[in-house]
Amino acid sequence: MTTGVHGPTRAAIDEKTLRPDRWWLPPLTTFVVFSAFVVYATVRAFMGSDYYASPYLSPFYSPCLGDCVEGASDFGQPFRAWPLSAALLILIFPLGFRMTCYYYRKAYYRAFWLSPPACAVAEPKTTYTGETRFPLLLQNVHRYFWYAAVLVGLVLSFDVVLAFRNEDHEWGHMGLGTLLMLVNVVLIWLYTLSCHSCRHTVGGRLRHFSKHPVRYKLWTWVSRLNQDHGRYAWYSLFSVALVDLYIFLIANGTIEDVRFF
Amino acid sequence: MGYQLKMRVWRGDQSGGDLGDYTVEVSEGEVVLDALHRVQATQAGDLAIRWNCKAGKCGSCSAEINGRPRLLCMTRLSDFDETETITVTPLRTFPVIRDLVTDVSFNYEKARELPSFAPPPRDADNKRRMAQVDVERGQEFRKCIECFLCQNVCHVVRDHEENKPAFAGPRFFLRYAELDMHPLDTHDRRELAQGAAGLGMCNITKCCTEVCPEGIKITDNAIIPMKERVVDRKYDPLVWLGNKIGLRTKDNDGRTEP
Ligand code: SF4
Ligand code: SF4
Ligand code: FES
Ligand code: FES
């Protein structure tokens, strides 16, 4: 290679990096965990069954707009004729949201593209155009996925309210599933509200904070959340998979829901 | 108490070079620059090092220590094990001059390409006015000491020499952001940042933020907000439509020229 750190004018050093630490560990961890999630989510999304265990609806299938099992569709079934799993109708929104998220981009560009694998570690590819061309140019639509994500957040919050019922849909009950769904929805909201596009929309885009005191205040709140955006990205990824797994295991009869009252 | 520190230091110039081994007496509380100075004083009188303030404020002593871009004067020996060999090389993104000294003029060329602050005419009383919150917003960006560690670590130019003409780099995205957030600047920095400065090349992998000795959140507070501002102007059809039918002309908010 005669470009990059091995170019003719640069200090002649053979190694691609002289870092002695385990710089490969974070990208490897990201690679393994994301891959595992993608495999799990793909299997569950195509399965098209065991996503509803009254009163719990899996977040992968909410809102259930296709030909769903009884009790799962709280917003009707406008896509009844859809022959495949109902999850495939709606998963594009959370998927697109996370794929275009600034934090996830950093994570997968490093772990999957190795661009760069870690800081001051030479990347293997010899050409690079960043996000200037199709398809990566499309990352710029992130804010639209954010608008959709707010709707998804509202639907999932509604599901949590519905989870305060028992199997026969009587109100005032709670189980371990309710608790898991509640934690999940809190993490989803933290993730959604700490988004960089949210930060921009509420106030970041302004040139005069002084002329917009309310938006400035909102911006300072979102900015505080935004500092931990990456953490919320991970937590909410785990929580959403865990809730789905729990509901899957109840629905297929492997375990019994733990009822609190 | 003092101890013997093993070091490997890159010696050479553009015609070639190598890591040389040195063992030098150091004491607790010293920094890597102290150790190099002692090597220079006792064993290698011709070792070239650029430094100035020894206080992390002039940005001269940027180098790579154990493969990581850092300031020589702010890297404490106590961060390392006493038995560990410390490897010091020049910045690997810029042309080397000799030993630890590189030619960083790339950065000065990029600075010159950036149109400077262009305020509107003064108020009737010959003054210009800005509210305190608007002044505060840019303060983080003004902490930059121009050490160019961020420019050095950025893989867009570190790994791809051919990108240098089209890419200004994180230190200058910082400047674009500062000026675009400045209520009195009249340039449209969104246009400039995306076009001439190559903001779209950055893939927000955050290495610039990781190495900044001033702890400036370059990616979160400058690059990503600038990317979002570019989206406002270039890629957001709603904003575009609003501008066309005159609903959102306020969006330009003082920006009059490119
Ligand atoms: S975040 Fe962008 S500017 Fe900063 S080092 Fe990475 S690619 Fe370069
Ligand atoms: S932004 Fe930070 S790393 Fe970059 S030149 Fe300024 S002080 Fe150095
Ligand atoms: S969701 Fe991560 S930046 Fe928007
Ligand atoms: S000598 Fe000035 S920053 Fe290190």
Q: Is the pLDDT of residue B251 over 80?
A: no
Query: Which residue type occupies A17?
Result: T
Q: Tokens for B45?
A: 């009188």
For the stretch A25-66, pLDDT in tens is: 999 999 999 999 999 999 999 999 999 999 999 999 999 999
What ipTM, to 2 d.p.?
0.95
- The residue ranking higher by pLDDT, B177 or B245, is B177
Which A residues, 86 through 125, put their C-beta within 8 Å of a C-beta on chain B?
102, 105-106, 109-110, 115-116, 119-123, 125
Q: Kindly state the helix (H) or strand (E) to which residue B62 belongs, with its residue range.
A: strand B62-65
Ligand nearest to the CA of residue B36, numbered in listed order: 4
What CATH code is carried by the domain that includes residue B140?
A: 1.10.1060.10
Distance separating alpha carbons of residues B110 and B164, to the nearest angstrom: 9
What mean pLDDT value characterizes chain B? 93
Q: Which two tokens stand for residue A200?
A: 């921009």
pLDDT at B195: 80
What does the pLDDT read at residue B248?
Answer: 58
pLDDT above 60: residue B56: yes
> In the predicted model, is pLDDT for residue B249 greater than 60?
no
CB B64 within 8 A of CB B90: yes
Q: Are residues B80 and B165 in the same domain?
A: no
Tokens for A5, please give them.
């750190």
Mean pLDDT, range A93-103, rounded to an integer: 97
**pLDDT confidence of residue B238:** 75
Record the tokens describing residue B76, joined without a space.
């404490």
Compute the average pLDDT of residues B133-146: 96
Q: Which domain holds residue B136?
A: 105-252
| Helix (DSSP H) and strand (DSSP E) numbers for chain B | 10, 7
pLDDT of residue A7: 94
Task: Using the 3D structure, point to which of B102, B117, B146 is the last residue of a domain.
Answer: B102
pLDDT, tens digit, for every residue of B208-232? 999 999 999 999 999 999 999 999 8
What is the per-residue pLDDT for B216? 98
Go through chain B and tell me how many residues it has: 258
Residue A190's closest CA among A222, A142, A160?
Answer: A222
Same domain, B94 and B118: no
What local confidence, expressed as pLDDT, does residue A3 receive? 83
Q: Per-residue confidence at B190, pLDDT binned at 50, 70, 90?
A: confident
Question: What is d(CA A87, CA A65) in angstroms, rounded to the nearest whole number?
Answer: 9
Nearest CA in chain B to A109: B205
pLDDT at A2: 67
Nearest CA in chain B to A9: B95
B199 and B230 share one domain: yes
Domain boundary among B102, B118, B142: B102
User: Pocket of ligand 2, candidates B64, B104, B141, B147: which has the most ligand atoms within 8 Å of its Cβ, to mutate?
Assistant: B147
| Claim to verify: residue B125 and residue B194 sit in the same structural domain | yes
Query: Taking CB atoms and an 8 Å cutoff, what residues of chain B touch A119?
Result: 68-69, 153, 207, 210-211
- Among protein residues, the one whose CA lies closest to atom 4 of ligand 3: A195
Q: Which residue has the tokens 């262009």?
A: B118
- If asked whether residues B43 and B122 sit together in one domain, one would say no
The count of structural domains within chain B is 2
Residue B258 forms part of a structural domain = no
Work out the pLDDT band at B192, boundaries 50, 70, 90. confident
Nearest one of A116, A93, A111, A123 to A34, comparing CA atoms: A111
Indicate if ligand 2 lies below 6 Å from the C-beta of B232: no
Neighbours of B30 (CB within 10 A): 16
Domain boundary residue among B57, B82, B102? B102
Smallest Cα distance from B121 to chain A, Å: 18
**% of chain B with per-residue pLDDT over 90:** 84
What SS3 string covers B182-221? CCCCCECHHHHHHCCCCHHHCCCCCHHHHHCCCCCCHHHH
A170-191: average pLDDT: 97
Identify whether B257 is part of a domain.
no
What average pLDDT does range A5-18 have in this prediction? 96
Pair B98, B133 in one domain? no
Burial of A149 (0-12, 13-18, 19+ CB in 10 A): buried
B142 and B173 assigned to the same domain? yes
Q: Give the predicted TM-score (pTM) of the model.
A: 0.95
A1: pLDDT strictly greater than 60? no
Q: Do B127 and B14 share a structural domain?
A: no
Residues of A within 8 A of B161 (CB-CB) are 3-4, 7
Q: Which two tokens stand for residue B42?
A: 């006792």
Pocket test for ligand 3, best of A93, A95, A99, A102 (most atoms within 8 A of CB): A102
Same domain flag for B139 and B63: no
Triad B67, B71, B75: Cα angle to 5°: 80
* Mean pLDDT score, B61-89: 97
List, as one string, the DSSP characters of B231-258: IIIII-HHHHHHHHTTSSGGGGTT--B-
Higher-scoring residue by pLDDT: B257, B100: B100
Contacts of B160 in chain A (CB under 8 A): 3-4, 126-128
| Amino acid B254: pLDDT | 80
**B86 has a pLDDT exceeding 60:** yes
Mean of the per-residue pLDDT values for chain A? 95
CATH code, B13: 3.10.20.30
Residues 6+ positions from B10 with CB-CB distance below 8 Å: A11, A13, B17, B18, B19, B20, B88, B89, B90, B99, B100
Instruction: Quick: pLDDT tens for B90-121.
Output: 999 999 999 999 999 999 999 999 999 999 99
Distances (CA, A) of B140 to A24, B135, B143: 31, 10, 6
B117 and B196 belong to one structural domain: yes
Residues of A in contact with B224 (CB under 8 A): 102, 196
Q: Quote the percentage of chain A above a pLDDT of 70.
A: 99
With a 6 A CB cut-off, is B214 part of the ligand 2 pocket? yes
CB of B208 shorter than 6 A to ligand 1: yes
